[in-house]
Amino acid sequence: MRSKLYPSEYLALLTMKYDVDADKFFDALVSAGKKRKTKCGTLSIEYRAKLNRNVIFLITQNSKVVAQFKIPEEFLQKKKNPIKEAKNNYLNNKYPTKQAAEPHPLQIKDLRVGMKKVNLKAKVIEISKPKYVVTKFGNHASVANATVKDNTGKIKLCLWNDQIDTVTVGDTIQIENARISAYRNERQMRIGKNGKLHTTPTTKT
């Protein structure tokens, strides 16, 4: 992913992947350059070294490495946040949001990281065994990944707590108000508190 992107685009994708504010993320990078280490949401940002005129940063989340990259010193000296600009351009150019006020039905092949208010109808083909995790708020939760498909592709659907018991393999489900994120460079659907998930009757052909 990194080799084909400018630093601002790569960092913009990180803000979408880990759901952090672009302004806060840029400020955290600048701060880490001065204080050696800082935090932004669930991410820890550490200044590692400077080579020539490039600064090397390491980003971790709960002690796990998220990314390590180098950016030019002048990048951190820009008055306008280049990450925010890249994020806005990326979303506006590739994922038009003129209809974002209302959820829009899509097919799996159309889904891109950063999309929100997504409606999708798909079939559940696999559900992983639930795992118990501790959330960033310190709460205990159960999480499982369901693999869903339509006639254009497959995608992981992240299920939390009660959502896990609402679907089984073979169900056709309707997902509303989901958002598309990425985990380990793989697309993933998440259903927030304003989203809905329910099974739909299957039609015989």
Could you give all domains of the chain from N- to C-terminal order, each with its CATH number? Answer: 2-94 (no CATH), 104-200 (2.40.50.140)
pLDDT number for residue 204: 46
Alpha carbon distance 75, 82 (integer Å): 8
SS3 letters across 71-82: EEHHHHHCCCCH
For 107-122, letters b (16+ CB in 10 Å) and e give ebeebebbbbbbbbeb
Q: What confidence tens digit (pLDDT) does each residue in 106-146 have?
A: 888 888 888 888 898 999 999 998 888 776 667 777 888 88
Q: Which residue has the higher pLDDT, 130 or 59?
A: 59
Whether residue 46 has pLDDT greater than 90 = yes
Percent of the chain with pLDDT over 70: 85
Show the CA angle centred on residue 175, arms to residues 189 and 142, nearest 5°.
Answer: 55
Whether residue 45 has pLDDT greater than 90 = yes
Q: Please list the alpha-helical segments (H only) found in 118-195.
A: none
Percent of the chain with pLDDT over 90: 20
Whether residue 184 has pLDDT greater than 80 = no
Q: Which residue has the higher pLDDT, 165 or 104?
A: 165
Q: What is the mean pLDDT of the chain?
A: 82
pLDDT band of 4, cuts 50, 70, 90:
very low
Whether residue 2 has pLDDT greater than 50 = no
